[in-house]
A and B are shown apart, each in its own frame.
Chain A
């Protein structure tokens, strides 16, 4: 072992951990007080559709408002149909379900359920039940359902692509499967939430700040951890295990700061009814931002010197180094940009769903699916893969329960590994 490497590495690690913890603590201090005390009052529930044959399907993405005691808050149901809104104090509240955000074929069984009014007692989490059932007339044709789901899928796919590009680039240049990429997404979501919801910074500015924060996290990570490890000649498998450790550690720190209940951005925007699609203005803005950034990434990779160097490193690091490319610089850039994009992806995803410390890990496998589908290590492949995964997941909900929609995507991942492991755009491994 090279002398002095261990102290340098230890210093790097310490620096990294310290800065991560500091950054998170700072964000946490600005953030709402963590829901860790368990003494808070809240209203919550699970929104499930009961079908004619008594199956229950969770209904995600439905808006729920709570009002009372001079307090107004809203949230959306998550993929399990769960929703939770903490309220500031005990008292009587009114909970309203935004029926416009229900899927077209789902209706309230009993319209008197909505709105709900009642008391929230001290220290209690009051359960509010809305019974949902199938509409008597399924007016929407399958084709409209497909179009509507495809639109949602494109939105999700674009954001997934934004989040996954970094994963793919890091794999390409370092050969590293980075499990901690999930936390980069979660950090983005939570920090973005802190900026936009807690501090009230305008959304677009908050997005820019989130991107920057992500870049800083990525840069620090490479400087404090990965570069010293590369210097030391740490193998790829140990590095992969280190990313797992980092992922577990960062996630628990995030959760300690932000608590475990998901939070929804308070920003509301109008639904744009374009044909059968029901995306909101914010959705369209998110999609535009993601698209612009993805095109920018493509441009950088194809046209700039740094991008070409990146592709050369992905192609053959040894040869690239021999031809005078500064491989370390390339990798540093990839970490910085990749983490930044992941963070922004996290924030934009949070806008349409919810943010929590778990949000990244929940979608890590979808990112893997996208990256593998597109071909490990090719950025363009990851983008294409993410779009396909996004659309596939959403459209598949027409036939399979929403609750297990991700299972389909993961099964596809395994099938691709079987049929075409190099992915759609991937190349065969070079020998030697």
Chain B
């Protein structure tokens, strides 16, 4: 049940981007998100250094790049989970730079996390209900008077149940979220994000660690979002998947946007192939590599000790890098 088949507007959307030149920072006809000069440094390392980027409304945009390219950090910065060193960005024409993360979410830009944050000690249905915005019972005074929020709670529950059955989680509704499989948690996290009725969803590696049987349905759900008029920006490694569902692809490497364009064009781009092959490093294989990594850690420590970071220590673990 692919969304493309049912949605008449899909080809039109693809066309909308047909005239956009495939160069980094290309202007889009109807951008929902525009970012300028966004940088984020960790000590000596510049994790994000984006000059200009626009995300088209109502299409699926993929953000790809090798591990450590800065995709998660870029997500964190845009959504207020991390502070940028410089830069400005607007969402639906209004600046959200420097806004706290909950305000960004309230503005309609809702994200998921690379390391799934299903609230495993809440039941599945409670997870879903939590996602709904504008709940009257979330005010501490009204919370004491159930008759003020019970009706709303019922409609929220109804919506939650619809979403759960769409994501095939309805049989788990009364389980603790911790009892779900990894893939189911990803589904739950996505469904929960949808409870807040966002205009744009940002998915950080939604397919990572999901078993292949579930990926197809996840893909279907992402396409459904587009069919419903939502904008999707997602991070993914699997080229086939990116190829399959995205209308536009943005490539990051070493913090910079190195290429942009429709999937076919990007994948043929030699810069992209370079970026992937050039910067890939994996878990250590040989003892020599292990020593090398240890030495790197040590020099990192030294560097960081001599150049303490300036920004305040807020909560750890926003998203997480791979």
A and B touch in the complex (CB under 8 A): yes
- Chain B residue, CB-CB nearest to A319: B297
Q: Mark A29-72, 1 if CB is under 8 A from B, else 0.
A: 00000000000000000000000000000000000000000000
Q: Are A323 and B293 in contact (CB under 8 A)?
A: yes
Residues of A291-331 contacting chain B, CB below 8 A: 308, 311-312, 315-316, 319-320, 322-325
Interface residues on B, range: 20 to 34
Q: Which residues of A contact B311 (CB under 8 A)?
A: 428
Given A312-B301, A431-B316, A431-B317, check contact A425 B308 (CB 8 Å): yes
Q: Are A420 and B312 in contact (CB under 8 A)?
A: yes
Q: Mark B126-167, 1 if CB is under 8 A from A, else 0.
A: 000000000000000000000000000000000000000000
Interface assignment of B274: CB less than 8 Å from any CB of chain A: no
Q: Are B305 and A425 in contact (CB under 8 A)?
A: yes
Q: Are A431 and B293 in contact (CB under 8 A)?
A: no
Q: Which residues of B contact A426 (CB under 8 A)?
A: 308, 313
In the bound assembly, the distance between CA atoms of A378 and B302 in angstroms comes to: 12
Q: Are B316 and A430 in contact (CB under 8 A)?
A: yes
Q: Are B297 and A316 in contact (CB under 8 A)?
A: yes
Q: Are A315 and B301 in contact (CB under 8 A)?
A: yes
Q: Are A432 and B320 in contact (CB under 8 A)?
A: yes
Residues of A381-432 contacting chain B, CB below 8 A: 420-422, 424-432
In the bound assembly, the distance between CA atoms of A316 and B320 in angstroms comes to: 13
- Chain A residue, CB-CB nearest to B318: A431
Q: B171 → chain A, closest Cβ, in Å?
A: 28
In the bound assembly, the distance between CA atoms of A432 and B72 in angstroms comes to: 10
Q: Which residues of A contact B283 (CB under 8 A)?
A: 322
Q: Are B72 and A325 in contact (CB under 8 A)?
A: no
The listed residue (B284, B309, B319) touching A431 by CB distance below 8 A is B319
Given A322-B283, A323-B293, A432-B72, check contact A427 B304 (CB 8 Å): yes
In the bound assembly, the distance between CA atoms of A323 and B298 in angstroms comes to: 12
Total contacts A-B at CB 8 Å:
74
Q: Are A428 and B312 in contact (CB under 8 A)?
A: yes
Q: Which residues of B contact A420 (CB under 8 A)?
A: 312
Q: Are A432 and B115 in contact (CB under 8 A)?
A: yes
Given A320-B297, A323-B290, check contact A427 B320 (CB 8 Å): no
- Chain B residue, CB-CB nearest to A375: B308
Q: Which residues of B contact A311 (CB under 8 A)?
A: 298, 301
Q: Are B297 and A427 in contact (CB under 8 A)?
A: no
Interface assignment of B82: CB less than 8 Å from any CB of chain A: yes
Q: Are A325 and B313 in contact (CB under 8 A)?
A: no
Given A312-B294, A312-B297, check contact A431 B321 (CB 8 Å): yes
Residues of A181-232 contacting chain B, CB below 8 A: none
Grouping DSSP codes into helix (H, G, I), strand (E, B) and loop, the B interface class, with mixed when no group exceeds half, is: loop
The listed residue (B294, B305, B313) touching A323 by CB distance below 8 A is B294
Q: Mark B271-301, 1 if CB is under 8 A from A, else 0.
A: 0000000000001100000100110011011
Interface assignment of B76: CB less than 8 Å from any CB of chain A: yes
Given A308-B298, A312-B298, A432-B320, check contact A427 B284 (CB 8 Å): no
In the bound assembly, the distance between CA atoms of A428 and B294 in angstroms comes to: 21
Q: Which residues of A contact B42 (CB under 8 A)?
A: 428, 430
Given A322-B284, A431-B319, A432-B115, check contact A422 B313 (CB 8 Å): yes
Q: Are A323 and B297 in contact (CB under 8 A)?
A: yes
Q: Are B321 and A428 in contact (CB under 8 A)?
A: no
In this complex, which of A308, A425, A432 has the most chain B Cβ atoms within 10 angstroms of its Cβ?
A432
Q: Which residues of B contact A316 (CB under 8 A)?
A: 297
Q: Are B290 and A324 in contact (CB under 8 A)?
A: yes
In the bound assembly, the distance between CA atoms of A375 and B312 in angstroms comes to: 11
Q: Which residues of B contact A424 (CB under 8 A)?
A: 308
- Chain B residue, CB-CB nearest to A419: B312
Residues of B47-76 contacting chain A, CB below 8 A: 72-73, 76
Q: Are A315 and B300 in contact (CB under 8 A)?
A: yes
Q: Are B294 and A325 in contact (CB under 8 A)?
A: yes
In the bound assembly, the distance between CA atoms of A380 and B301 in angstroms comes to: 13
Q: Are B318 and A427 in contact (CB under 8 A)?
A: no
The listed residue (A324, A428, A431) touching B320 by CB distance below 8 A is A431
In the bound assembly, the distance between CA atoms of A430 and B43 in angstroms comes to: 11
In the bound assembly, the distance between CA atoms of A424 and B313 in angstroms comes to: 12
In the bound assembly, the distance between CA atoms of A323 and B296 in angstroms comes to: 11
Q: Mark B234-254, 1 if CB is under 8 A from A, else 0.
A: 000000000000000000000
In the bound assembly, the distance between CA atoms of A312 and B139 in angstroms comes to: 45
**Those 10 A-B pairs whose CB atoms lie nearest each other, nearest first:** A432-B320, A429-B316, A422-B313, A432-B321, A428-B309, A323-B294, A421-B313, A312-B297, A323-B293, A429-B313
Q: Interface residues, chain B, CB within 8 Å of chain A?
A: 42-43, 72-73, 76, 82, 114-115, 283-284, 290, 293-294, 297-298, 300-301, 304-305, 308-309, 311-322
A-B contact pairs, 17 of them (CB 8 A): A311-B301, A312-B298, A319-B293, A319-B297, A320-B297, A323-B284, A323-B297, A324-B290, A324-B294, A375-B308, A378-B305, A422-B308, A425-B305, A427-B309, A428-B309, A429-B315, A432-B320
